[in-house]
């Protein structure tokens, strides 16, 4: 029997190498750890107040390069990014110092458009970065893709039925993804080294001269506070 599968609505998560990585790591790895928000005592980086790593001039070279990676992300989506501005609104540092540090729980970011993670110090034992969808549109029958220890209808995983996708954290690379997508980290093996990342949120707006476009948001300089 002939049939055809139409693949619709794929989610794009960008992963690219950071050119300034080696120099940046050698110069800043130890100071980055001072931005760790310490999840043992702080519920979130916001609660700790350590959400403005992008204000540190020592890190300027990385945040300048970040623009190129966001351009690449939008280029994949065939967006004319020359008409867009990117605003880093928060940035913080995540660390796993030992094998006992808890993994990052599933969450979303609620006030930005894009989020990023830069893997400043990792190895093959570091936790995986995981992206999860809250509702798989192909799950037409309730819990059809859910699994149990003994009895399952699902016989394997593919891109149509999986609800979670994992990305290996390659040192010196970054991932960029929509902020409203659920994400977390998952430990698969005993950690052998410290994991240090810079994570952050980006608000995307039109450049000031393109306020006559209805897509997206106007530039912050054209807002007023009331």
In a domain, 4, yes or no: no
Number of domains in the chain: 1
End-to-end Cα spacing for the chain: 64
In a domain, 191, yes or no: yes
Domain residues for the domain of 197 are: 14-209
In a domain, 90, yes or no: yes
In a domain, 217, yes or no: no
Q: Is the pLDDT of residue 94 over 80?
A: yes
In a domain, 218, yes or no: no
Q: Is the pLDDT of residue 110 over 90?
A: no
CA angle 49/205/8 to nearest 5° reads 100
What does the alpha-carbon distance between residue 149 and residue 20 come to, in Å, rounded to a whole number?
46
The pLDDT of residue 160: 92
Write out pLDDT tens, residues 179-220: 999 999 999 999 999 999 999 999 999 999 999 999 999 999
In a domain, 214, yes or no: no
CA separation (Å) from 9 to 1, 18, 86, 130, 156? 26, 28, 25, 19, 22
Write out pLDDT tens, residues 113-147: 999 999 999 999 999 999 998 888 899 998 899 88
C-beta atoms surrounding 38 within 10 Å: 11
The pLDDT of residue 101: 87
In a domain, 38, yes or no: yes
CA Rg value for the chain: 20
The pLDDT of residue 135: 84
3-state secondary structure (DSSP) of residue 116? strand
| CATH number, domain containing residue 145 | 2.60.120.620
Q: Where would I find the H helices in the chain?
A: 21-32, 45-48, 60-76
Banded pLDDT at 35 (limits 50, 70, 90): very high
Q: Is the pLDDT of residue 41 over 80?
A: no
Banded pLDDT at 107 (limits 50, 70, 90): very high
In a domain, 111, yes or no: yes
């Amino acid at each position: 029997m002939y049939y055809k599968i139409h693949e619709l609505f794929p989610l794009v998560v960008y992963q690219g190498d950071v050119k300034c990585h080696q120099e940046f790591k050698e110069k800043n790895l130890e100071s980055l750890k001072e931005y760790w928000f310490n999840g043992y005592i702080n519920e979130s980086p916001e609660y700790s107040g350590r959400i403005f790593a992008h204000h540190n001039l020592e890190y300027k070279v990385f945040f300048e390069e970040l623009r190129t990676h966001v351009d690449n992300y939008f280029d994949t989506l065939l967006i004319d990014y020359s008409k867009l501005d990117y605003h880093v609104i928060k940035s913080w540092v995540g660390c796993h110092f030992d094998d006992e540090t808890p993994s990052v729980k599933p969450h979303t970011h609620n006030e930005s458009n894009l989020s990023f993670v830069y893997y400043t110090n990792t190895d093959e034992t570091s936790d995986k970065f995981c992206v999860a969808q809250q509702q798989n549109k192909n799950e037409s029958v309730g819990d059809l893709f859910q699994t149990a220890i003994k009895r399952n209808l699902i016989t394997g995983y593919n891109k149509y039925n999986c609800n979670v996708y994992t990305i290996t954290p390659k040192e010196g690379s970054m991932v960029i993804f929509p902020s409203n997508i659920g994400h977390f980290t998952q430990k698969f093996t005993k950690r052998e080294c410290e994991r240090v990342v810079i994570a952050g949120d980006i608000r995307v707006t039109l450049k000031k001269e393109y306020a006559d476009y209805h897509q997206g948001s106007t530039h912050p300089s054209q807002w007023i506070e009331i």
